[in-house]
Amino acid sequence: ALIAAVDEYIPTPARAVDQPFLMPVEDVFSISGRGTVATGRIERGVIKVGEEMEIVGIRDTKKTVCTGV
């Protein structure tokens, strides 16, 4: 009941789903058996598991695949 009341009170933020995917990386973990995992909050766009994505930053751009959302 409390969660439903909070969900009703706090509006879902609008996200530009028609723009390219953008997720600033907030943290990176090294998980045994899985590899390196980056976490963050999706700012705009949409991505699905299995889709190719690019990690852009100070170093060279890396291509990878989304394994979870």
Residue-wise pLDDT for 25-58, tens only, equals 999 999 999 888 889 999 999 999 999 999 988 8
- The alpha-helical segments, DSSP class H, found in 1-69 are 2-9
- Assigned domain for 2 exists: no
- Assigned domain for 9 exists: no
- Assigned domain for 53 exists: yes
Q: Which domain CATH number covers 23?
A: 2.40.30.10
Whether the model pTM is above 0.85 = no
What per-residue confidence (pLDDT) applies to 21?
92
What per-residue confidence (pLDDT) applies to 13?
80
- Assigned domain for 35 exists: yes
- Assigned domain for 6 exists: no
- Boundaries of domain holding 36: 15-65
Residue 37's φ and ψ, nearest 5 degrees, are -125, 125
**How many domains in the chain?**
1
Per-residue b/e over 28-49, b at no fewer than 16 CB within 10 Å? eeeeeeeeeeeeeeeeeeeeee
Please identify which residue in the block is written with the tokens 């598991």.
49
